Structure 1
């Protein structure tokens, strides 16, 4: 059975293998072993600290085939984007240039460096075994984070954001970075991406000018990729739009990909979630649901069939109850798949 659970230090080799196997660029999960182990340790501390932890926390989940004991994916969740430091993006806006004498007026698109999204809850670190991209496992791994938020709303912000991977060409080059960031940093995208993964976006404030960037002055290849996502991210975007996320004026400062945002209370998973007590038993039929326990430290989420009804309890298939680690009377949460 496929189960989403908190990452553990023992997962390190499997996460390394997964990061090399997937075609997604997961900046927030560095391939450097020491830094990756730090990310896992930070997550373990977040899950172990309880709800009384002060300051930002970063949770890292893994998708595991419990029968084969094989790790198949990762997804992350930060209570506060930036982790206590500025979280930089470009904001796409317009300025009006006009001359009354010449009777000329024009709206010019412009990029402003911004850290307005600092402190918002951030979805990050999504990677999945390529063979599972078109299966329910994709939705389980991504939406389990939203079910986690629904169970612990006091730990998260009212607004959730996610940065979607931008455009890269067939050679692996990033037109937006080559047209903007490279001029100020003097390094290629992969090097900048590495610095971001082992440090944070805060290094941008040390090198990049604070002046706005006039979009028409950029190379055409860079202009055409602003706010556009890589084809490999289409499935993720479709899921987020279905959840209620929308495009924002913000873009990733490295690859120019879109930043999506949604109010927690308006997200489909959060609005549809129900809370009841488990009654493990033999269950036949029913509809598919995302189902999780309501533990912080030992959080588990999987897909199972339920027959919903009135009352404070719900019959839970025995294999699902075992996967979630719940017994008679334990609280669970579930939302339609």
Structure 2
């Protein structure tokens, strides 16, 4: 069985291996021992913290195979972005140039640097190791964050964002960055990307153009990737779109990948989820529906997905196996939050 739980100090080696495997463009997990350790410690502090609203908390979870003990994936949530370290985006808009006397009317897209998402919550750091990229595991790893947020909504903003990885080649070079590098910077995209992952964003305010950029002045290659995602990111984007996330014109400063957003209460998983006390059976046969379930804890948060679950909508009764209850850390009569991950 696979179980999601908050990261712990003894997960460091596994987290570092995931950081190595994630490659270029995965800025939330830089291959840096000090920063990875700091992420683990921050997450441990966050789940132990009593909060009245979103602040500088970061929640990092790991997906563990209970049979082998292996850590096979990660997923994370930032409670409020841009509060201590600025979060920059380009906002894409349209500028109109009109001369009635010449009968000329031109609409030109522009990119303006902004901090409009300051204070929003962000889902991030989603990575699943290659051998486990099958079945429902990736879908579970993405959607289960919304159960945690629904259960503990006081810890998060009403607006949730997700920054999607933009287009880059196998060497980590971005067509959009190449244009910026030529005119404003003198460093390669992987280096800039790495600096952001390290939290060093000073160079952005120092070197990034302060005025709006006219999109039609960019190279054709740079224009073509604005708002587009890396091939490996397309499944993740489609999943978020099904959840109700929308792209409202905000893109990453370096690779021009889209940032999508949704209101927490409008997210499909949140709206579909139910809370119900459990009844435990020693054995349950596989059912037609696979359910994702989580307990109501924070530091001891646990979540699983299983088809050995029976739910009676009319009686509002949920039966789970003894193994599932033990993995979730719940007892007879305890409440869990759950949703249908898949039906066949």
C-alpha contact (below 8 Å) 2:291/2:306 kept by paired residues: yes
Q: Distance in 1 between matches of 2:196 and 2:316?
A: 47
Q: 1:32-111 counterparts in 2 under 5 A?
A: 32-52=32-52, 55-111=55-111
Q: 1:18, CA displacement in angstroms?
A: 1.7
- Quote the Cα distance in structure 2 between the aligned partners of 1:53 and 1:258: 27
**1:34 CA drift (Å):** 0.6
Task: Call closer, same or farther: CA 1:85–1:34 in 2, change over 3 Å.
Answer: closer
RMSD: 1.7
Deviations 1:241-270 (A, max 9, x none): 111111121001111101111111111100
SS at match of 1:39: helix
Q: Which residue of 1 aligns with 2:279?
A: 279
Q: Give 1:69 deviation, angstroms.
A: 0.3
Query: 2:326 aligned with 1:325, yes or no?
Result: no
In structure 2, the residue matched to 1:299 is: 301
Tell me, in whole angstroms, the C-alpha distance in 2 between the residues paired with 1:35 and 1:78.
16
Q: Which residue of 1 aligns with 2:338?
A: 334
Please, what TM-score do these two structures have when normalized by structure 1?
Answer: 0.95
Structure 2 CA distance, aligned partners of 1:290 and 1:50? 26
Q: Give the match for residue 149 of structure 2.
A: 149
> What is the DSSP-based 3-state SS (H/G/I as helix, E as strand, rest coil) of the residue aligned with 1:180?
helix
Question: Contact (CA 8 Å) 1:280, 1:318: kept in 2 or not?
Answer: yes
Distance 1:147 1:24, change over 3 A: farther
Shift in Å at residue 182 of structure 1? 5.5
Q: Give the distance between the partners of 2:181 and 2:333, measured in 1 at CA.
A: 55
Unmatched segments (≥5 aa) in structure 1: none
Instruction: Say if 2:121 is the partner of 1:121.
Output: yes
C-alpha contact 1:6 1:299 (8 A) present in aligned 2? yes
**Alignment: residue pair count:** 337
Which string of whole-angstrom CA distances, capped at 9 and with x for unpartnered residues, describes residues 290-310 of structure 1?
A: 100110011111102322224
Greater mean deviation of Cα atoms: 103-112 or 325-334: 325-334
The whole-number CA distance in structure 2 between the counterparts of 1:181 and 1:151 is 44
The structure-2 alpha-carbon separation of the partners of 1:269 and 1:191, relative to structure 1 and needing over 3 Å to count, comes to same
CA distance in structure 2 between the partners assigned to 1:115 and 1:334 by the alignment: 35
The alpha-carbon deviation at position 134 of structure 1 amounts to: 3.3
Is the 1:91–1:111 Cα contact (8 Å) retained in structure 2?
yes
Relative distance call for 1:22 and 1:171 in structure 2 (3 A) is closer
Give the TM-score of the pair, scaled to structure 2.
0.93
Q: Deviations over 1:204-262 (max 9, x none)?
A: 22331220111111111111000000100111011111111111210011111011111
Given the alignment of the two structures, is residue 251 of structure 1 paired with residue 251 of structure 2, yes or no?
yes
How many Å separate the matches in 1 of 2:200 and 2:162?
16
Q: Tell whether the 8 Å contact from 2:94 to 2:109 is kept in structure 1 after alignment.
A: yes
How far 1:148 moved relative to its partner? 0.4
- Residues of 1 paired with 2:14 and 2:205: CA distance? 34
- Per the alignment, residue 163 of structure 1 pairs with 163
* 1:117–1:19 Cα change, 3 Å: same
Query: How far 1:169 moved relative to its partner?
Result: 2.2
Query: CA 1:132–1:24 in 2, change beyond 3 Å: closer, same or farther?
Result: farther
CA apart distance, 1:312: 5.8
Contact residue 172 and residue 190 of structure 2 kept, 8 A: no
CA distance in 1, matches of 2:338, 2:327: 14
Q: Cα distance 1:246–1:13, how it changes in 2: closer, same or farther (>3 A)?
A: same
Give the 3 Å change call, closer, same or farther, for CA 280–51 of structure 1 in structure 2: farther
Residues 1:273 and 1:89: Cα distance change in structure 2 (over 3 Å): same
The partner residue of 1:308 within 308, 311, 328 is 311
1:200 to partner: Cα distance: 4.9
